[in-house]
Amino acid sequence: MPTLHELLETALNGPVPLAGPDGTTWSAPTQTVIALAGLASTTRTPLDQDVTVENADDNGATVLITGAARGFRCVLTADPAQVQQLCATSECPTTPAGSTGLCAVHLPGSSIPAAVQEIAEEQLRLSELEAALAGRMSTPGPDDSDSGALWNLEQAGAYMGFTGPSAAQSAYRVLKRGGFTPAGRAPGRGGGSLYRPTQIITALATRPGRGRRTDLHNLQATEQTAEQLTTGLIDPACVDPALSREILSLILTTLTPEERAAYPGQLEEFAEQHRDRITRLYRDHGPGSANTAHGRYQLLAQPAGLAVCERLDTNPLALASVWADALPGTWLNDISHTWTSPSQTP
């Protein structure tokens, strides 16, 4: 059985043949394999997991990713009718029965229905990666040392889902913590670091915390609750959705499956119980306050900041243990000091 990483490496050179147990094969386009890698990243699955092809025909294949908690299935198809059928059922994009993660559909080379487009754009973030890979594949046997085949940190940040002026720095942290060294430098004086697309994909999929799977449904429910509870406290223009989602994903890894399912309700109870305290916190240290002038208290610009406060009250040690290797320590220190200070506590 090939691993996700092996499939990805093969895809850089052209379509990947996927053979079912009965010998029927389907040639998976490069973009489809990239979609699979993006799905693995979204569902916090390392790229070293095995891929089993359960069935394949002329229109597509169903693959099972094993080695994770329970594995997940992914439908890969080039049949528009099948895409529309899947998106009309609970299998797309929710969790298939008996598995975890997504049943994702990618439709290469054709118009993409709205439901699939949302998956591709919001969860798999394929467009820039496809363009970069198309450029690499335009010349037979691309040379990885060729700067034209590499990405700068701004491109890496965009693929990883980071936005705003700190996107490149956020991407650099992910790559550095993953042990990835630049594959080249941009031309000219002061040229920045350049990385291979495969380095960026692997860094995103294997960064600390990715091996601890978080159910997507619970993540989305928690995200929606945090956004609702911080309405009126946060300027929407300051919100970085990808960063907030990353923080919430990290928090959910500290909970049991039962606790994750109940967490949105727990967050609502916390917000109600500490309403005055939260109001003071955002008034004194939130977006637009004098205390943010030097880039401090960045977490309070994100809906996930509320969940950080809840964890600081409930289980600060577990939060600190997963935070250390994933996000800047100053972010947590700032909010921890402020939230637990005598002026904030009842």
d(CA 3, CA 46): 10
- In this prediction, residue 264 carries a pLDDT of 94
Q: Give the distance from CA 76 to its chain's centroid.
A: 20
For 110-128, the DSSP string reads S---HHHHHIIIIII--HH
Residue type, 187: P
- pTM of the full predicted structure? 0.45
Q: Is the dihedral angle over the CA atoms 98, 101, 107, 112 positive or is it negative?
A: positive
Q: Structural domain boundaries of the chain?
A: 4-125, 143-206, 216-339
* Cβ neighbours of residue 158 closer than 8 Å, sequence gap 6 or more: 125, 128, 167
Which residues on adjacent β-strands are paired with residue 184?
A: 194
Which residues on adjacent β-strands are paired with residue 74?
A: 63
Residue located via tokens 């956020």? 170
- In this prediction, residue 86 carries a pLDDT of 55
Residue type, 326: A
Per-residue pLDDT of the chain (346 residues; tens, 9 = 90+): 787 777 777 766 677 888 888 888 888 776 667 656 655 554 555 666 778 888 787 777 777 766 544 455 677 765 555 655 555 543 343 333 332 233 344 333 333 333 333 433 433 343 344 434 333 333 232 333 344 467 788 878 776 667 666 778 878 888 887 778 888 888 777 678 888 776 776 676 555 544 333 456 788 889 999 999 999 888 888 888 878 888 898 898 888 878 888 999 999 999 999 999 999 888 888 777 766 655 567 788 889 999 999 999 999 988 888 887 677 888 888 888 888 775 555 5
CB 56 within 8 A of CB 24: yes
Peptide bond into 236 cis (omega under 30): no
- In this prediction, residue 228 carries a pLDDT of 94
Query: In the 8-state DSSP scheme, what is residue 178?
Result: T
* Cβ neighbours of residue 85 closer than 8 Å, sequence gap 6 or more: none
Residue type, 186: A
| Apex 161 CA angle, 184 and 214, nearest 5 | 115
d(CA 234, CA 338): 17
